[in-house]
């Protein structure tokens, strides 16, 4: 992996990730941009203890632009985008409309490919590995920033998820406090350790690997399975067999095997509902331990879709949105079987 760090016209950081040296990354951002002014505010909900980010400036962010005005495509034919180069492999830059900034954290955009109509599942294993290396590099860099408590890499895919830019991309958030979901993981892991003397996530992985009816894919170093109490119609968790805290802890063998398994998994998601249904919308979320107090947690990726049939979506309605009590219409064992058959 080769990196080139530069700046956009408004001072935001841009990083090119290349698989080979010698790429020309000297193109300048010539747009007349003002400096980004954002002041998100963290407020703690006294009824739950959760932190909520108020980011009113995001109401003006770019919303479903036409393909010829996509801000994530390379700058070509006289049109300037967020990426000045005429081509790139993987690019990461600070979000112009961040939910988190300053003391509250930082938000970055990760562009997986210059191809506007592609998806992550269309990447080559080599390009997927470069994305993994970029996620890892940014996790290391953001973890070293003062005030950062947790780094979260994720991808939203599809209009059904709420994506406003269809170009294949993900995001990285550097939180100043551990997320509410992570807080639940920490509490559950502590209770499990106290009750059994063992690690919760090691036990979860061991149980899943022994329950063959819920295993979707398995390699030498990773296993993808549907969790016993899946919340989403089609939900898969991908764990390395060796427990590590975050992406930085993966060894070369684990990094080498990940792209093939992950691409296979994404293509199975796309094959679930047939060709007429179109690409399957999904959220892909890396769960990494917080930088402090997370020694009982385990790096893993959670991939899920809101689509439950070819023409029906799973809406977070009264029980889910109102009470955080999930009701799943698809049995986890059925979901795993359908994903195995989709290969």
Q: Which residues form the catalytic set?
A: 169
> Phi then psi for 282, rounded to 5 degrees?
-155, 165
Distances (CA, A) of 163 to 17, 53, 155, 169, 282: 24, 19, 10, 10, 10
Q: How far apart are CA 288 and CA 43, in angstroms?
A: 23
Determine contact, residues 326/231, Cβ cutoff 8 Å. Answer: yes
What's the half-sphere exposure (Cβ side, CA atoms, 13 Å) at 192? 15
Asked whether the beta carbons of 124 and 131 are under 8 A apart, the reply is no
Nearest Cα residue to 258 out of 152, 151, 249, 297: 249
> Tokens for 268?
């199975």
> Look-up: residue for tokens 């709420």?
162
- The closest of 122, 295, 304, 118 to 224, measured between CA atoms, is 304
Q: Are 158 and 273 in contact (CB under 8 A)?
A: no
How many other CB atoms are there within 10 angstroms of residue 78's CB atom? 5
Tell me the C-alpha distance between 188 and 193, whole Å: 9
Could you tell me which residues come within 8 angstroms of residue 20 by beta carbon, excluding any fewer than 6 positions away? Answer: 2
SS3 call for 336:
helix
- State the helix-helix crossing angle for 180-196 and 200-210, rounded to 10 degrees: 80
């Amino acid at each position: 992996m080769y990196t080139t760090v530069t700046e956009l016209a408004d001072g935001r950081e841009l990083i090119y990730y290349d698989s080979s040296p010698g790429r020309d990354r000297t193109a300048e951002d010539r747009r007349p941009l003002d400096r980004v002014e954002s002041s998100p505010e963290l407020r703690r909900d006294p009824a739950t203890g959760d932190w909520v980010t108020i980011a009113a400036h995001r109401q003006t962010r770019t919303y479903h632009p036409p393909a010829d005005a996509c801000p994530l495509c390379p700058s070509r034919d006289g049109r300037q985008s967020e990426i000045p180069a005429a081509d790139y492999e993987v690019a990461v830059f600070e979000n112009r409309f961040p939910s988190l900034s300053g003391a509250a954290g930082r938000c970055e955009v990760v562009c997986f490919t210059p191809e506007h109509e592609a998806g992550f599942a269309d990447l080559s294993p080599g390009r997927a590995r470069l994305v993994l290396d970029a996620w890892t590099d940014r996790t290391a860099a953001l973890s070293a920033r003062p005030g950062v408590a947790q780094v979260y890499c994720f991808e939203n895919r599809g209009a059904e998820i709420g994506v406003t830019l269809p170009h294949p991309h993900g995001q990285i958030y550097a939180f100043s406090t551990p997320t509410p979901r992570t807080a639940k993981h920490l509490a559950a892991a502590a209770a499990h350790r106290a009750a059994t003397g063992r690690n919760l996530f090691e036990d979860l992985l061991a149980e899943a690997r022994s329950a063959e009816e819920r295993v979707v894919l398995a390699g030498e170093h990773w296993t993808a399975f549907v969790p016993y109490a899946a919340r989403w119609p089609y939900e898969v968790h991908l764990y390395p067999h060796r427990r590590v805290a975050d992406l930085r802890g993966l060894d070369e063998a684990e990094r080498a095997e990940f792209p093939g398994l992950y691409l296979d998994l994404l293509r199975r998601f796309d094959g679930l509902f047939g060709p007429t249904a179109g690409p399957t919308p999904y959220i892909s979320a890396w769960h990494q331990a917080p930088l402090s107090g997370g020694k009982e947690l385990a790096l893993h990726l959670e991939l899920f879709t809101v689509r439950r049939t070819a023409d029906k979506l799973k809406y977070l309605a009264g029980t889910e949105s109102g009470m955080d009590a999930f009701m799943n219409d698809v049995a986890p064992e059925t979901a795993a079987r359908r994903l195995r058959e989709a290969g």
